[in-house]
């Protein structure tokens, strides 16, 4: 599932309802608008069946919550705990995208990239993030030459 959630705080119950009803293996969120320290609280709502990685601005600037009371943008991936041993997060230096590598035994490796790119009025930041994304995709293709690549 891929969803521009436009804020975990305001849409957490909708996310929980969808996950409880459909039990997706993987969930890709753009714009969770949450700081890293909020992740546990949001995941507690989903119970013990899921794991997650949040890629927010404060992950790359730990002092940001001291100056800003609300996180903007970001990306997040949620996956079932039963597939946790087959998921690895690919490290990046941007909160605009979050790659995860899924390598179940007997299946091809797939790389899924959650995206949340800057929009209107942020053209230079958009171009910078696209350049970083291109570089990361090239790295991934070098490391996993036969992988299936999904932009979410």
pTM over 0.85, yes/no:
yes
DSSP letter for each residue of 37-48: GGHHHHHHTTGG
Report percent pLDDT > 70 for the chain: 90
Which one, of 9, 68, 12, lies nearest residue 33 by Cα?
9
pLDDT at 59 over 80: no
pLDDT recorded at residue 9 = 86
Query: Alpha helix (H) ranges present in 36-143?
Result: 39-44, 57-60, 64-67, 123-143
pLDDT digits (tens, 9 = 90+) for 92-127: 999 899 999 999 999 999 999 999 998 878 899 999
Give the integer Cα–Cα distance in Å for 71 and 77.
Answer: 17
């Amino acid at each position: 599932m891929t969803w521009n959630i436009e804020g975990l705080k305001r849409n957490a119950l909708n996310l929980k309802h969808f996950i409880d009803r459909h039990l997706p293996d993987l969930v890709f969120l753009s714009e969770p608008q949450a700081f890293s320290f909020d992740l546990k609280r949001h995941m507690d709502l989903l119970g013990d069946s899921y794991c997650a990685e949040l890629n927010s601005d404060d992950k790359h600037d730990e002092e940001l919550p001291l100056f800003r009371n609300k996180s903007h943008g970001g990306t997040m991936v949620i996956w079932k705990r039963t597939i946790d041993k087959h998921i690895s997060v690919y490290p990046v230096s941007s909160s605009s995208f979050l790659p995860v590598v899924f390598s179940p035994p007997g299946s091809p490796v797939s790389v899924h990239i959650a995206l949340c790119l800057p929009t209107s009025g942020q053209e230079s930041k958009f171009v910078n993030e696209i350049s970083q994304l291109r570089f990361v995709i090239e790295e991934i293709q070098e490391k996993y030459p036969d992988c299936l690549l999904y932009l979410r």
